[in-house]
Amino acid sequence: MRDDCETGGRRRGGLRPAMRTGTPESRCTSVKVHLVRPSAGLLAAALMACLALTPSGLGAADPPGEIALTIENNRFQPEELKVKAGAPWVLVITNKDKGPEEFESHDLRIEKVIPAGKTVRLKMPALKPGSYRFVGEYHEKTAKGRIIAE
């Protein structure tokens, strides 16, 4: 099996460097597929096979944490959010007021309107350690807070 794989690799030299990153099994799977019929669909299937064979538990088993933020009486609750730096997370904002509010953070490039009584879930990127300010643009005087990544 391994030999098949090496042969395939030699014939299609361009593919070899990419294949080296996989396990011997995954290398074989993908190369064989290419040898049979190198169509786009099969290529994708081969890629999927490679992905499936990579050590699991890197992303799937560790869903990003959710952090809740509530808007009430034109204020954020809590006004300071602490998150782990370097890991993606999800910000769940619930607007309990009777009017819409816009969650705005220039630091994070987010402008998001949350209609009255609604909840939105914002996928947040992994942040570098630091402080990121945000405001409720419609009530900037009272609605403000910051996210501390550490």
Partner 1 sequence: MGATFLVTLREAFEASLLLGLVYTYLDKIGARENFRWVTLGSALGLAASVAMGVAVGFLSGPLLDLGPDLIGAGVIFLAVVLLTWHAWWMQQHARGVRGEIQQRIDQARVTQRLWIVGLIAFTGVFREGAETVLFLWGIMAQATSAAGWGSVAAGLAGIATAAALGWAIFYGGKNVSLPRFFAITTALILLLAAGLFSTGLGRLQGLGVLPMTVTLWDTSSFLSDGSVAGSFLGGLVGYRARPSLLEVAGYAAYLLGAGFLVLAGSFRPAPARAAAGEPVTPRSR
Chain-centre distance of CA 100, in angstroms?
27
Residues in the chain: 150
Binding site for partner 1 (CB under 8 A): 88, 97-102, 105-113, 115-116, 118-128, 135, 137-141
CA distance 17 to 106: 42
Amino acid 85 reads: A
Amino acid 56 reads: S
Q: Which is nearer to partner 1, 19 or 104 (CB)?
A: 104
Q: Which is nearer to partner 1, 44 or 126 (CB)?
A: 126
Q: Which is nearer to partner 1, 42 or 122 (CB)?
A: 122
Minimum CB distance to partner 1, residue 112 (Å): 7
Q: Which is nearer to partner 1, 2 or 118 (CB)?
A: 118
Minimum CB distance to partner 1, residue 105 (Å): 8
Minimum CB distance to partner 1, residue 59 (Å): 14
Minimum CB distance to partner 1, residue 8 (Å): 34
Q: Please tell me whether the peptide bond between 78 and the residue prior to it is cis, using omega within 30 degrees of 0.
A: yes
Minimum CB distance to partner 1, residue 73 (Å): 11
DSSP annotation string for 112-148: EEE-TT-EEEEEEPPPPSEEEEEEEGGGTTT-EEEEE
Q: Which is nearer to partner 1, 30 or 97 (CB)?
A: 97
Token couple for 97:
């007021």
